Amino acid sequence: MPETESIRLQKYLADCGLGSRRFCEKLIAAGRVKINGDIVTELGTKVVPGQQKIECNGKLVAKEATVTLLLNKPPKVICTSDDPQGRTTVLDLLEDLPERIYTVGRLDFMSEGLIVVTNDGDLAHSLMHPRYHIPKVYKVWIDTPLGHHQRPKMMRGIPSKGETLRVLDIDEGRHTKQGVEYTITLGEGRNRHIRRLMEHFEKKVFRLQRIAIGPIRLDDLKTGEWRRAKPAELKLLRAAIKEAKSTTK
């Protein structure tokens, strides 16, 4: 991007690794951001990278080299930078990294599997934007099989707390000691989406694991381990995002 091109302040802050654009908007609205010494609270403010002094919480903000990590989140780990209850966070598993990074989307406390952690504001924004439905694939183990008519109902959509919960696809797998295994693909994910669907049909969830985000697969990444995303993976992911954007115009 040429230095003479202006961009929105919240995008610049996100690109600098301060958090998602939505989080950066909160920083601006709270009066915690300055441009050339002046507090700015207007979300429409634009800046020219490299030509203005931008501070947040009294510290100079500068763009870092982008980093994108893939982590296999264990159960009983939360997707936040800090927890008042002192529970283990995703960032605790990455504490040796020098870069400021944040999780893209969330898995609930007991869920496990693939999480993207990055300081790439554009990538994070596109993955979390509700208009760009990047498919996410999960494995879930429940106590008893779903009925013949319950899977089609999930695909049509189930009303829940003012929302409609639906799946793009659901396939029954093995019957194991962990329970009956299903592979579920979501387009737009809601809070506790799969758990709420199973609760609707009075199914007990023994285990819930995310195994893919778009073309990115969990594969053989062990629980609690992480690695840097490969350039080829990021290329495929950005291509999937671009396609998703083109279909929403």
* Phi/psi at 247 (5° precision): -80, -10
Catalytic (active site) residue 220: no
Longest Cα–Cα distance of the chain, Å, equals: 64
CA 204 to chain centre: 25
The CA distance from 183 to 187, in Å, is 14
Alpha helix segments (H runs only) across 31-165: 121-128, 150-156
**Catalytic residue from among 82, 92, 108, 171:** 108
Task: Please tell me the number of Cα atoms within 13 Å of 73 on its side-chain side.
Answer: 33
What is the three-class DSSP state of 28? helix
Residue numbers annotated as active site: 108
